[in-house]
A and B are shown apart, each in its own frame.
Chain A
Amino acid sequence: MAYQSDGMVEKSGASRWISHAIMILGVLFIFFPIWLAFVASTVTQADIVRPPMPVLPGPHFWENYKAALFSGVNVPVSVMLGNSLIMALGIAIGKIAISLLSAFAIVYFKFPGRKFFFWAIFITLMLPVEVRIVPTFEVVAGFGMLNTYQGLILPLIASATATFLFRQFFLTIPDELAEAARVDGARPMRFFWDIVVPMSRTNIAALFVILFIYGWNQYLWPLLITTDPSMNTIVMGIKQMFPSGDDTANWPVIMATSILAMIPPVVVVISMQKLFIRGLVDSEK
């Protein structure tokens, strides 16, 4: 083709303007609440309560963010951020490790009940966390894991989705590769580490992004099993900041916390995006 079109459909001047206008409008619409939250985190409590609501940032940015990070309402936000980070990383890494191994077992080993195990894993896809939350709580409480990182992470680690995804990917790796490795003298786990894991790295990166956000956004589960404020994660912690009864909410600090809570997932998405776009560009096979 002599020219490059920007998308699937070639656009003339007018329709290009219109489509951009619509998209910009959409972005403004979605960003407005976030913008308001940011504005609210830079003004004083008094400014927020007095109508009309400010729409331009105020001068109290550092003050509010310092208050949020180092003292918070119940517990400093830095502690909650740390808890969330540990939980999200634990869940993402744990899920990837376990599903890589189980997919490897299901694809490369012929053992009795292989089909059964695969389908057993697959069926758990059909039960959302909420359905099994009471028995899960019972088990975690029984092990004395309330208010611990293990309690936060372990019940959420098993992942049928990731197992299924890796299984599908492994099935596309040619058998000859496994045979070549066997002839080269690689035992199964060696083959796993040297060949399978490096070849899966783009899949791992993509899954890591999704799972990190999944872990970061956990709300119900941490709410149930952490009673100690120092174990709160940030997403549920925001809720805990709302006062009960007649106390007034400290809106600037709560809003600062909300903004802080968004930063790590955004950082993960942006940094990992580079990695898996690179992975997609130099696709191998």
Chain B
Amino acid sequence: MATVDLKDIKKSFGKVDVIHGVDMEIADGEFIVIVGPSGCGKSTLLRMVAGLETITSGELLIGGKRANDTEPMDRDIAMVFQNYALYPHMTVADNMAYGLKIAGMPKDQIKAKVQEAAKLLQLDHLLDRKPRELSGGQRQRVAMGRAIVREPSVFLFDEPLSNLDAKLRVQMRLEIKDLQAKLGITSLYVTHDQVEAMTMADRMIVMNGGVAEQIGTPLDVYERPQTIFAAQFIGSPSMNLMDGRIDGGQLKVNDVSLGPVDTREGDVTVGLRPEHVFADSAGVLRLNVHQSEPLGANTLLHGTLEGKAFTASLPGVHRMPGNDRDMSLNFASENLHLFDPKTGKRI
């Protein structure tokens, strides 16, 4: 159990800067999800914490001690890899015991620990199998078991669920979260899946292009996204964006007035989540629906609003009598997000 502090961590490969300085203090036992599109540097950041990549500049503290130049084995971490990275010629038990064996722990102790972890992960009946005889979900559990038996201070997960099918992913997601809560071990979890980020994280880092766009709790990011990128990345379907203008304290999109706001005058980008609009014949927003997607619990209406693509998510089944229809929508003003169109930052 330990805290992890990232102080202006940067990484460049040759002349290419991949990570432009990430600052974060992770409390003991916290579950942190690093989320972002592929190529945003999230895996690199994790691998720097693991010690598999060198840190170009900045400082990494694990448990308050500088760990920049420490070997991975001395950082007291355990890592779960995307493709599990199980040793193919070893049994499940040997896979889980390998780290302890290297550490020179006596055999009977190793056996007890492996048994304990296997029971926790419901792997007890599989201990003598080879990885190739296991299903994807079981392999995933073995990889977790290998991490658990070492009782590390920090767990690192590198997209551990991306090779599983959708149903198993939901189940493993809950199991991992559960396990982490039970063991109380500080965890860093990399994913490109915003649902995983929303459901698992105590706090998340939204990364884009090597920059931490926002660090905060899932609801924080959802409710008060600090940048346009974070606003669009978190939430499904993505937040709608409109070009607006504040004129004399009134927010306008084209000629439609969205009500009074008390911020700076001038051009703004207006964000409104699809689930934050509702049908209202007195509403000011007029959506021209091109297509509807009934999902059962809600219906997605895709169309244009003031000349830009707009998606609305309305509760329940919403039958549209044919496409190309106008409908009026309304919203609550506290659900409007305003961004500076130049910097992409929240106003």
Q: Give min CB distance, A120 to chain B, whole Å.
A: 27
- Please tell me which stretch of A26-34, A65-73, A135-143, A194-202 contacts chain B, meaning at least 4 of its Cβ atoms lie within 8 angstroms of it: A194-202
By a CB distance below 8 angstroms, the chain B residues around A184 are 73, 98-99, 102, 146, 150
Q: A199 touches which one: B50, B88, B98 (CB < 8 A)?
A: B88
4 A-B pairs besides A177-B85, A199-B89 with CB distance below 8 A are A176-B82, A183-B52, A185-B72, A194-B98
Closest residue of chain A to B156, judged by CB?
Answer: A183
A180 at the interface (CB under 8 A from B): yes
CB contacts (< 8 Å) of A174 on chain B: these are 83, 85
Q: Which residues of B contact A186 (CB under 8 A)?
A: 73, 98, 102
Cα-based distance from A182 to B72 in the complex (angstroms): 7
A161-198 interface (Cβ within 8 A of B): 174, 176-177, 179-186, 190, 194-195, 198
Given contacts A183-B72, A184-B73, A184-B98, contact A195 B85 (CB under 8 A): no
CB pair A179 B52 closer than 8 Å: yes
Asked if A284 lies at the interface with its beta carbon under 8 angstroms from chain B, I say: yes
A residues less than 8 Å from B87 (CB atoms):
177, 180-181, 194-195
Chain A: interface size category: 20 to 34
Chain A residues with CB under 8 Å of B85's CB are: 174, 176-177, 179-180
Contact between chains at A182 and B102 (CB < 8 Å): no
Return 15 A-B CB contacts under 8 Å, by A number: A174-B83, A174-B85, A176-B81, A179-B79, A182-B72, A183-B73, A183-B79, A184-B99, A184-B102, A184-B146, A185-B99, A190-B102, A194-B87, A282-B132, A284-B131
8 Å CB contact of A182 from B52, B86, B130, B132: B52
Interface mask (B105-125 → A, CB under 8 Å = 1, otherwise 0): 000000000000000000000
B297 touches A (CB below 8 Å): no
A174 CB to closest chain B CB, in angstroms?
6
- B83 (CB) vs chain A CBs: closest residue: A176
Chain A residues, Cβ within 8 Å of B51? 182-183
Q: List the B side residues contacting A201 at CB < 8 Å.
A: 89
Q: Which 7 A-B pairs have the closest CB atoms?
A: A185-B73, A176-B85, A184-B99, A284-B88, A180-B85, A198-B89, A185-B102
Contact code string B263-292 (vs A, CB < 8 Å = 1, else 0): 000000000000000000000000000000
Docked complex Cα distance between A284 and B146 (Å): 19
Bound: A195/B72 CA distance, A: 18
Most buried by A among B73, B132, B146: B73
- Minimum CB–CB distance for B146 against chain A, Å: 8
Interface SS of A by simple majority? helix
Nearest-CB residue, chain B, relative to A173: B88
Instruction: Say yes or no for A110: interface residue by CB 8 A criterion.
Output: no
Find residues 56-105 in chain B having any chain A CB closer than 8 Å to their own CB: 71-73, 77-79, 81-83, 85-89, 98-99, 102-103
| A132 contacts the other chain (CB 8 A) | no
**Partner of A180 from B79, B89, B130, B132 at Cβ < 8 Å:** B79
Q: Which residues of A contact B71 (CB under 8 A)?
A: 182
A113 to B77: give the CA distance in the assembly, Å: 33
Q: Which residues of B contact A50 (CB under 8 A)?
A: none
Question: Is A16 interfacial (CB 8 A cutoff)?
Answer: no
Complex: A184 Cα to B110 Cα, angstroms? 14
Find the residue from B77, B78, B82, B85 having the highest chain A CB count within 10 A.
B85
Chain B, residues 135-179, CB within 8 Å of chain A (1/0): the string is: 000000000001000100000000000000000000000000000
Q: A174 CA to B81 CA in the complex, in Å?
A: 11
Q: Which residue of A lies closest to B104 (CB)?
A: A185
Pairwise interchain contact B103-A183, C-beta atoms closer than 8 A: no
Chain A nearest Cβ from B89, distance in angstroms: 4
Q: Are A183 and B98 in touch, CB under 8 angstroms?
A: no
Q: In the complex, how many angstroms separate the beta carbon of A144 from the nearest chain B beta carbon? A: 44
**How many Å lie between the Cα of A199 and that of B73 in the bound state?**
23
Question: Nearest CB to that of B99 among chain A residues?
Answer: A184
A285's closest neighbor in chain B, by CB? B88
Q: Tell me, in angstroms, the Cα distance from A282 to B77 when the chains sit together.
A: 33
In chain B, what residue has the closest Cβ to A197?
B89
Residue of B nearest to A198 (CB): B89
Q: Min CB distance, B329 to chain A, in Å?
A: 48
- When distances are taken between beta carbons in the complex, the residues of chain A under 8 Å from B82 are 176
Instruction: Give Cα distance in the complex from A183 to B88, angstroms.
Output: 17
A183, B50: Cβ atoms under 8 Å?
Answer: yes
Residues of B near A185 (CB, < 8 A) are 72-73, 99, 102-103
Contacts of B150 on A, CB cut-off 8 Å?
184
How far, in angstroms, from A184 to B90 measured CA to CA in the complex? 14
Q: Which residue of A lies closest to B150 (CB)?
A: A184
Nearest CB on B from A96, distance (A): 18
Residue ID in chain B nearest A190 by CB atoms: B102
Of A179, A195, A282, the contact of B81 (CB 8 Å cutoff) = A179
